[in-house]
């Protein structure tokens, strides 16, 4: 019997050295430096070249598809179909305050710190070394294995769109880019702006409503819970102080941090919330909705009131779409979630709220869109053409699922529960694809944050599981 962990440990220093070289490349998408063979920018092109050169040195067959995506292939099987492992080489920008430089990999207390350490260069190298071990042991493969290196996972997956143009999809595969045990379902997504249609006549200041909303803005990223919001309001000078006092009392009653200041006959109200990913809006505090909850009972000009009342009615403290009439859930992927990450009101400009919605795999986007259109229409809003992504899931009785569950249980002793996510991975693009690690249950992920890291022991343990998974998946039988 093969001791997969022992095989990984023999190659530990080589793995860490190769990973160090990859992590030192600041492969953030930059179209200003794009060119032939590097459509996502010079540095991403350099990262792809690094992995393809490494693969060629290790004896794999390699291919580069116009710089969008590349792959390394193992096996000489004549069987129709192949197994895929997918990792991405692009990373998000290294913002924030880092203890050590983000592109100078540093090990502290058993943790390898660098941008991309856990998302997704570290897991990619762990899985790549799994394939390398299978090759070096000379193990027989019923199906060929193709390791696909993507370059645009963080901002649109144009790499996989290019791959699908010319390449046949695999019969099964996994990406090491989520959580353990196994993420076998990804919710569908709807992203769109809901625009306020203007009144025929615009009410002058002071003629309608006690207050005049000059502007409102909250958020800035559609798939994040807004952590700040701001409103600028005009009114009678003698009333501004009273409004400031009311706002202070409101913030105290809600346990929120808000400030107000009076300048040039206007009051500026600011609200602080808590950011969270749009797929889990319940984990954050939406600063924009908290501020609107304060403003909605006040008297404003008609367009402002329609804006405030619509948002208050359908979005405040409702992450499941109950008020909109779209709430739904299933056993495969859980409950629908809705987040509004950008909200804006300008009397003479665009006024809208952005919808970032994740719906169960058994639901239909058409049902949701029709219902939202009817509801927001009551307040004079219209929806822009949405960006849609269908849900994805692999049935629990698929041969791949059982193999990965057994590997996880044998390695960790933990129950191999099937998971779902509101996010998206490369698994979506290959049909029978799942996400397998690298984050173990109970562990914290600093992906996309300062001081991102992966625990070295988790990296090695993952590599061992990936090696076994590649070998067993490549020798399994699949329905044609």
**Catalytic residue IDs:** 90, 153
Measured distance CA(235)–CA(457) in Å, rounded: 61
How far from the centroid of its chain's Cα atoms is residue 251's Cα?
31
Q: Which residues of 156-173 are buried (b: 16+ CB within 10 A; e: fewer)?
A: ebbbbebbeeebebbbbb
DSSP β-bridge partners for residue 215: 232
Which residues, including other chains, have CB under 8 Å from residue 406's CB and lie 6 or more apart? 416
| CA–CA distances in Å: residue 379 to residues 186, 310, 382 | 32, 6, 9
Helices H / strands E in the chain, number of each: 11, 26
Tokens of 268: 């500026």
Separation between Cα atoms, residue 284 and residue 390, nearest integer Å: 25
Are 82 and 144 in contact by the 8 Å Cβ rule? The answer is yes
Strand ranges in 210-265 using DSSP code E only, listed in sequence order: 212-219, 228-234, 257-263
Is the peptide bond prior to 76 cis by the omega test (within 30 degrees of 0)?
no
In which residue are the tokens 């997918």 written? 86
Dist CA 187 CA 182 (whole Å): 15
CA distance 137 to 316: 58
Tokens of 344: 């804006």
Residues 135, 59: Cα–Cα separation, whole Å: 9
Residue 391 has phi, psi (to 5 degrees) of -70, 165
């Amino acid at each position: 019997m093969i001791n997969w962990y022992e095989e990984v440990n023999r190659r530990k220093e080589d793995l860490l050295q190769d990973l160090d070289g990859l992590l030192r490349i600041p492969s953030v998408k930059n179209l200003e430096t794009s060119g032939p063979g590097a459509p996502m920018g010079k540095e991403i092109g350099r990262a792809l070249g690094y992995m393809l050169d490494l693969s060629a040195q290790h004896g794999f067959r390699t291919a580069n598809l116009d710089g969008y995506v590349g792959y390394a292939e193992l096996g000489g099987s004549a069987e129709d179909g192949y197994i895929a492992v997918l990792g991405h080489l692009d990373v998000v920008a290294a913002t924030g305050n880092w203890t050590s430089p983000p592109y100078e990999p540093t090990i502290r207390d058993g943790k390898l710190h660098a941008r991309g350490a856990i998302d997704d260069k570290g897991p990619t190298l762990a899985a790549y070394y799994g394939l390398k071990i299978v090759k070096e042991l000379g193990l027989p493969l019923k199906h060929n294995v193709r390791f696909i290196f993507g370059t645009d996972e963080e901002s649109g997956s144009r790499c996989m769109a290019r791959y699908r143009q010319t390449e046949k999809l695999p019969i099964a595969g996994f990406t090491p880019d989520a959580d353990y045990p196994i993420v076998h379902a990804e919710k569908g997504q709807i992203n769109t702006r809901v625009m306020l249609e203007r009144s025929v006549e615009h009410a002058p200041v002071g003629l309608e409503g006690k207050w005049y909303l000059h502007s409102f803005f909250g958020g800035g990223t559609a798939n994040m819970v807004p952590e700040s919001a701001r409103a600028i309001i005009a009114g009678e000078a003698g009333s501004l102080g009273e409004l400031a006092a009311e706002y202070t009392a409101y913030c105290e009653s809600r346990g929120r941090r808000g400030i107000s200041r009076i300048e040039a006959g206007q009051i500026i109200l600011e609200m602080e919330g808590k950011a969270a990913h749009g797929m889990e809006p319940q984990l954050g505090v939406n600063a924009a909705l908290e501020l609107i909850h304060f403003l909605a009972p006040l008297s404003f000009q008609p367009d402002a009131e329609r804006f405030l009342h619509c948002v208050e009615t359908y979005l405040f403290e409702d992450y499941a779409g109950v008020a909109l009439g779209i709430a739904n859930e299933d056993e495969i992927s859980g409950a629908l979630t809705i987040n509004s990450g950008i909200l804006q009101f300008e009397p003479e400009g665009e006024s809208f709220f952005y919808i970032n919605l994740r719906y169960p795999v058994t639901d239909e986007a058409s049902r949701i869109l029709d219902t939202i259109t009817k509801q927001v229409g009551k307040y004079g809003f219209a929806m822009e053409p949405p960006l849609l992504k269908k849900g994805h899931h692999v049935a629990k009785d698929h041969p791949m699922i059982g193999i990965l569950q057994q590997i996880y249980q044998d390695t960790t002793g933990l129950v191999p529960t099937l998971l779902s996510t509101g996010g998206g991975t490369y698994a979506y693009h290959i049909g029978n694809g799942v996400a397998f690690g690298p984050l173990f249950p109970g562990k914290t992920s600093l992906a996309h944050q300062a001081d991102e890291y992966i625990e070295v022991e988790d990296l090695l343990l993952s590599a061992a599981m990936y090696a076994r998974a590649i070998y067993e998946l490549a020798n399994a039988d699949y329905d044609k």
